[in-house]
C-alpha cells in the first residue's frame, strides 16, 4: 500500500514505519514531505531512497493555500494512506475531508486526555500515574479523531517530561506500525458512523 508520511522533525515514528516496511509490513513509503527543510526525518528517508519534498509554510499566504499545494503534492504519489508522523501543523477541514478515512496521526497522550502540546509535562503536573500514546483517524477536530489503538505506560517516581516522553515514544514506535499494517491489510477502516472498524481481533 503506497503511503505518504508528513513530518516536521526528528522522524522517529517515520523510522519505525521504515523499519516495519523493511521487516515485511505491507506498506510502501512512497514519499516523505516536511514543512521544515531541517527535519532530520528527511535524512532518514533519503537513506532509504524514499522520495522527499519540503513545503515551507512560510512561502504561503494562508493555511488554505498551503494545504491545497500539500494535497496536490501528496496526490502525485497516489497514496492509499497518509500518516502524520510528528507533523506540527494544523490541517484545514478541506484537506482533512479529502483524506477522510485514510489519514492517521499519532498523539503522545491517552486521548481524549491532553490534546494539544506539551502532553508529558501536563500529565506530570496533573499527577497522572499512567500516560501513553494514541493512533487516531484525523478529523477536523485537533487531536480529536476516532482513536484506533493506544499504548499505556506508567508514570514513575522521579519522571520528568523527558523520561516520560522517551517511555511513550518507545510505545509509539510499536503502535503506529501496527495500525498502519492493519490498514494496509484492509482490516481497518473509518466507519460511516465515524467509528473505527477493525474486523476480527488483532
Ligand atoms: C512524538 O511525541 C509524536 O508523538 C509526536 O511528535 C513527536 C516526535 O515524533 N507526533 P517523531 O520522533 O518526529 O516521529
Percent of the chain with pLDDT strictly greater than 70: 99
Give DSSP secondary structure letters for 94-132. Answer: HHHHHTTTSEEEEESSSTTTT-SS-HHHHHHHTT-SEEE
ipTM, interface predicted TM-score of the complex: 0.96
Q: Each residue of 163-175: pLDDT tens digit?
A: 999 999 999 999 9
Helical pair 12-22 and 40-47, crossing angle rounded to 10 deg: 10
pTM of the predicted structure, to 2 decimals: 0.96
Cα(6)–Cα(10) distance, integer angstroms: 12
| pLDDT at res. 75 | 98
CA of 8 from ligand 1 middle (Å) equals 9
* Residues involved in catalysis: 107
d(CA 142, CA 163): 25
Which atom of ligand 1 is least distant from the CA of 12? 12
Whether 90 has a binding-site annotation, put simply, is yes
Q: How confident is the model at residue 95 (pLDDT cuts 50, 70, 90)?
A: very high
The cell 513545503 sits on which residue? 55
* Nearest CA owner, ligand 1 atom 13: 11
Q: Which atom of ligand 1 is nearest to the CA of 16?
A: 14
170 by DSSP, 3-state: which? helix
Interval between CA 135 and ligand 1 midpoint (Å): 12
**How many Å apart are CA 30 and CA 77, to the nearest integer?**
7
To the question of whether residue 74 is assigned a binding role by annotation, the answer is no
Report the 10 Å Cβ neighbour count for 40: 15
Residue pLDDT, tens place only, 21-75: 999 999 999 999 999 999 999 999 999 999 999 999 999 999 999 999 999 999 9
> Which one-letter DSSP state was computed for residue 6?
E
Residue of the CA atom closest to atom 8 of ligand 1: 86
Supply the mean pLDDT for the chain: 96
Distance between Cα 148 and ligand 1 center (Å): 17
pLDDT of residue 201: 45
Amino acid at each position: 500500500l503506497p503511503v505518504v508520511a508528513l513530518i516536521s522533525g526528528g522522524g522517529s515514528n517515520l523510522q519505525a514505519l521504515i523499519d516495519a516496511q523493511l521487516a515485511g509490513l505491507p506498506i510502501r513509503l512512497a514519499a516523505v514531505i516536511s514543512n521544515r527543510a531541517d527535519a532530520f526525518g528527511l535524512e532518514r528517508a533519503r537513506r532509504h531512497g524514499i522520495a522527499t519534498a519540503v513545503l515551507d509554510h512560510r512561502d504561503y499566504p494562508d493555511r488554505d493555500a498551503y494545504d491545497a499545494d500539500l494535497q496536490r503534492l501528496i496526490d502525485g504519489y497516489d497514496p492509499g494512506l497518509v500518516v502524520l508522523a510528528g507533523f506540527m501543523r494544523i490541517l484545514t477541514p478541506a484537506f482533512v475531508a479529502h483524506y477522510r478515512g485514510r489519514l492517521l496521526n499519532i498523539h503522545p497522550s491517552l486521548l481524549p486526555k491532553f490534546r494539544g502540546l506539551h502532553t508529558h509535562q501536563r500529565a506530570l503536573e496533573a499527577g497522572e500515574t499512567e500516560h501513553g500514546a494514541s493512533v487516531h483517524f484525523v478529523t477536523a477536530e485537533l487531536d480529536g479523531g476516532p482513536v484506533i489503538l493506544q499504548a499505556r505506560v506508567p508514570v514513575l517516581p522521579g519522571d520528568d517530561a523527558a523520561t516520560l516522553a522517551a517511555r511513550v515514544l518507545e510505545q509509539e514506535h510499536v503502535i503506529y506500525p501496527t495500525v498502519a499494517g492493519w490498514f494496509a491489510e484492509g482490516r481497518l477502516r473509518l466507519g460511516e458512523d465515524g467509528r473505527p472498524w477493525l474486523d476480527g481481533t488483532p
